[in-house]
């Protein structure tokens, strides 16, 4: 049975990604990670961004693992790899050579650098990771699929259907940060921390769906606890700004946010609709092209002597408008659609 809440969460996570990236342009350190930044920073904007920066990307990995569970129901391993290669690997390679170089050219132009072509995975590193996860985990995932009554699967289901069993999941994520010691925690892009955290989230996302309706009922019952823990630890993290927040607290906070989002999403978002149909198709192309319009909007707007808050709104609107205008073109051209992760036939 299709879960519409998972589709909604993917859409919401990508929307938050765009807002988050726009906000980086107003931080004094944004230029250090190759963002075009405003001459007038807006430091207060980062506080709400801190709410999402430790769970927005992990949530996408969880959701991707859930999506693979459903994709496997009507496919064997060869069909799954072929389908993921078309939907993930092709857009990744195309984007690396044709999309990312465009926003890098805008970046170079803004800083008066030589306009040389440079291919790079850029923000599409996420797609590369997902495809590797499918390749690496497929044997295990298909074993679990074909042995749903085995002792291994029953053990996974028993653990994940109990709230205390979630501590096992936390232990895996804590082991990852204890071994790799990432700093900051939210530095996921093209790091071993991002790779292995994503691998774990992808696998456990699959296992959550494998655990059936009992898992969703359990997290719904405990949703307010998850949210309370997440909010409380966020407050602690804000007061630890001068010092590094202990890794175990960040792991618990991140996972608590994710469980709360999954729980509330399963309660209120598991329903179809025209908006969901449209945005589900738009999400992938919007994610792929958004940096072009973010950089272009930043280059234009940051030259204007207007309040920084208005700059933020204008860059945000420009980015979303450019992305959806591009999507309206992409969705209508049959041969372009696969390059942006869409099926050739509408």
Does residue 143 sit within a domain? yes
Say whether pLDDT at 156 is over 70. Answer: yes
Nearest to 96 by CA among 339, 344, 342, 343: 339
DSSP codes of every residue in 128-159: HHHHHHHHHHHHHHHHHHHTTTSHHHHHHHHH
* pLDDT tens digits, one per residue of 37-93: 999 999 999 999 999 999 999 999 999 999 999 999 989 999 999 999 999 999 999
Do residues 41 and 27 touch, judged by C-beta distance below 8 A? yes
Dihedral over Cα of 220, 226, 230, 232: its sign = positive
pLDDT at 245: 86
Does residue 195 sit within a domain? yes
Q: Give the mean pLDDT of 199-224.
A: 98
Does residue 345 sit within a domain? no
Containing structural domain, residue 332: 4-340
Q: What is the mean pLDDT of the chain?
A: 96
Does residue 332 sit within a domain? yes
Q: How many structural domains does the chain have?
A: 1
Does residue 237 sit within a domain? yes
Q: Give the mean pLDDT of 260-271.
A: 97
Does residue 123 sit within a domain? yes
Q: How far apart are CA 290 and CA 100, in angstroms?
A: 10
Does residue 215 sit within a domain? yes
Does residue 346 sit within a domain? no
Instruction: Note the pTM of the prediction, 2 decimals.
Output: 0.96
């Amino acid at each position: 049975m299709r879960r519409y809440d998972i589709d909604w969460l993917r859409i919401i996570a990508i929307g938050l990604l765009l807002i988050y990236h726009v906000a980086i342009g107003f931080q004094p350190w944004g230029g250090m990670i190759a963002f075009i930044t405003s001459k007038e920073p807006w430091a207060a904007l980062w506080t709400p961004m801190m709410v999402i920066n430790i769970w927005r990307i992990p949530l996408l990995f969880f959701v991707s693992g859930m999506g693979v569970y459903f994709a496997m129901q009507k496919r064997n391993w060869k069909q799954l790899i072929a389908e993921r290669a078309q939907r993930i690997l092709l857009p990744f390679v195309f984007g690396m050579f044709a999309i990312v170089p465009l926003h890098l050219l805008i970046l170079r132009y803004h800083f008066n650098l030589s306009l040389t072509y440079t291919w790079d995975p850029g923000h599409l590193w996420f797609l590369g990771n997902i495809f590797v996860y499918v390749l690496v985990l497929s044997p295990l995932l298909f074993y679990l699929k074909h042995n749903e009554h085995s002792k291994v699967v029953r053990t996974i289901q028993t653990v994940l259907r109990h709230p205390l069993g979630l501590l096992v999941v936390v232990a895996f994520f804590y082991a990852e940060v204890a071994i790799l010691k990432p700093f900051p925690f939210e530095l996921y892009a093209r790091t071993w921390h991002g790779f292995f955290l994503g691998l774990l989230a992808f696998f456990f996302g699959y296992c959550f769906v494998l655990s059936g309706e009992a898992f969703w009922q359990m997290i719904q019952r405990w949703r307010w606890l998850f949210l309370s823990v997440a909010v409380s630890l966020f407050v602690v993290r804000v007061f630890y700004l001068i010092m590094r927040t202990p890794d175990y607290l960040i792991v618990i906070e991140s996972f608590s946010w994710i469980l709360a989002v999954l729980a509330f999403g399963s309660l209120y978002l598991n329903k179809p609709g025209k908006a969901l149909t449209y945005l589900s198709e738009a999400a992938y192309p919007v994610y792929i092209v958004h940096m072009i319009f973010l950089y272009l909007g930043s280059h234009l707007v940051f030259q204007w002597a207007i309040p920084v808050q208005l700059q933020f709104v204008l860059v945000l609107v420009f980015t979303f408008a450019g992305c959806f205008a591009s999507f309206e073109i992409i969705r209508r051209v049959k041969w372009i659609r696969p390059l942006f992760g869409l099926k050739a036939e509408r």
